[in-house]
A and B are shown apart, each in its own frame.
Chain A
Amino acid sequence: MLNPQLTKDGRLRHLLTLDGLPKAILTEILDIAAPFTEVAEREVKKLPLLRGKSVFNVFFENSTRTRTTFEIAAKRLSADVINLNVSTSSTSKGETLLDTVDNLCAMGADMFVMRHASSGAPYLLAQHLRNTGRDHISVVNAGDGRHAHPTQGLLDMYTIRHYKQDFTRLTVAIVGDVLHSRVARSEIAALTTLGVPEVRVIAPKTLLPTDVERMGVRVFHNMEEGLKGVDVVMMLRLQNERMSGALLPSSGEYFKFYGLTEEKLALAAKDAIVLHPGPMNRGVEIDSAVADGDHAVILPQVTFGIAVRMAVMSMLAAGN
């Protein structure tokens, strides 16, 4: 079956998920992102790749970091950026998603960066664009429900490659609320595709999807056991806003068992790196001493995120 994310000749048309995206494309995105990191050091921090293009950041769900880094990335590529916080706009007046999109297309959109609380919403948008003969407009998924957050997954892969070079010798642990995390799903898909031999997930049973083993990961419920010898620790945020029902006794209890402290991190490899997609809940999933410590690469992640988003957007513009 044709991958809806790729053009007939294998170029990137949309970025909807990392699941099923070929290794060659993943690697190409990381390779293209590398020179973009240098742009921030120039007097003129702009490249002309998206000159004359209009990028619409359509966020049906709140976001600061992701929306801002997408905005910076698009602006560094010379695009015109229009930010729409739709959660406080037309949909609250009753407009459907596709009506909103049709209106934005009529305003001359070349690319949509979309976040939505419903899993699959960016697919619906991409399908709608194809069905209405507007295939030249690209869609970037900036997070859809519990499903995927592909650019976060990519920037994590970029960060890991930056510090560890070779994916094929790593043991990586993803710790925390996997059940509600679109970031975790994107990370697992990318790590597996890029050849990481051992991906572990560490979480209480209540915060793991029932079919998690089918994603090709080793499951640990005991954090001390799961962290032994790992090269990369990828922390997840405890997603209070997605919690329905009593999955945890308390955040204090959670920190005791699954919070990353210096003592627990000492069980990982000596040169282990710690990632977190942000925003961090200090004292809930991560201790401040770790978040601000030598192993943390959390702020470089944010910087790399701009370069990775620049790479994705310029590849989409070139593919279409």
Chain B
Amino acid sequence: MNLPDANVLCEQLATLIRPQLRPDTALVGIHSGGVWVAERLHQLLDISEPLGSIDVSFYRDDYGSRGLHPHPQKSGIPFDVSERHIILVDDVLYTGRTTRAALNELFDYGRPACVDLAVLVDRGERQLPIGPTWCAWHLPERLPAGSKLDLKRDVAGNLSLEVKSA
């Protein structure tokens, strides 16, 4: 499968979001790929509010069976989320479970006025009633079970998509 240029997808995603920005909009990226995309969007959309980040390791629903991630990152939201327009940002939307966990974590910081979801890629195969507000690319076909679609970032900061087989 030919995968599009993730850097271009970021620009397309910014174009989709721009008309719906509000004065109180703030971005929150989901570790780790979502934070990279959020950093890019933050720059492209020229948002003054600092960027927030969430690591959903402590909110996952499969931690009892898969264990804890050995290197969880600190979540950090350097602004009051209450009564604010929050855009959650992730690299790949798949089952929806990560988004569910991120929403739960976000609400432990306060009660946002509304939350939107921006993703670079929608992989489909949802297991929860969750959909993106904005998506730069829909995967045209299902990937084999067990394979992973990941966002990578090189030392120069360039983003790329990668499929890993099971």
B4 at interface by CB-CB < 8 Å: no
Write the B112-145 contact mask toward A (1 if CB under 8 angstroms, else 0). Answer: 0000000000000000000000000000000000
Size band of the interface chain A makes with B: 20 to 34
B64 at interface by CB-CB < 8 Å: yes
* CB < 8 Å A-B pair total: 52
Which listed residue (A11, A36, A42) contacts B67, Cβ 8 A? Answer: A11
Write the B37-81 contact mask toward A (1 if CB under 8 angstroms, else 0). Answer: 000000000000000000101110001101110111111100000
CA distance A90 to B74 in the complex (A): 43
CA distance A34 to B58 in the complex (A): 12
**CB under 8 Å from chain A, chain B span 69-105:** 70-76, 104
Contacts of B68 on A, CB cut-off 8 Å? 32, 49, 314-315, 318
CA distance A32 to B71 in the complex (A): 6
**CB under 8 Å from chain B, chain A span 21-72:** 28, 31-32, 34-38, 42-44, 46-49
CA distance A37 to B74 in the complex (A): 8
Smallest distance from the beta carbon of A140 to chain B beta carbons, Å? 16
CA distance A292 to B55 in the complex (A): 36
Smallest distance from the beta carbon of A30 to chain B beta carbons, Å? 11
Contact A318 B67 (CB under 8 A): yes
Contacts of A49 on B, CB cut-off 8 Å? 58, 63, 68
Contact A35 B70 (CB under 8 A): no
* Residue of chain A at shortest CB distance from B65: A318
CA distance A47 to B72 in the complex (A): 14
Contact B75 A38 (CB under 8 A): yes
Total B residues in contact with A, Cβ cutoff 8 Å: 21
A145 at interface by CB-CB < 8 Å: no
CA distance A35 to B72 in the complex (A): 7
Best-surrounded residue of A35, A38, A46, A318 (most CB of chain B within 10 A):
A35
Contact B72 A32 (CB under 8 A): yes
Contact B110 A43 (CB under 8 A): yes
Contact A48 B74 (CB under 8 A): no
CA distance A221 to B109 in the complex (A): 52
* Given contact pairs A48-B59, A49-B58, A35 touches B67 in the complex (Cβ within 8 A): no
A317 at interface by CB-CB < 8 Å: yes
Residue pairs across A and B with Cβ atoms less than 8 A apart, 25 shown, are A28-B70, A31-B71, A32-B68, A34-B72, A34-B74, A35-B72, A35-B73, A35-B74, A35-B75, A36-B58, A37-B74, A38-B75, A42-B108, A44-B107, A47-B108, A48-B104, A49-B58, A49-B68, A314-B58, A314-B63, A315-B67, A317-B64, A318-B64, A318-B66, A319-B67
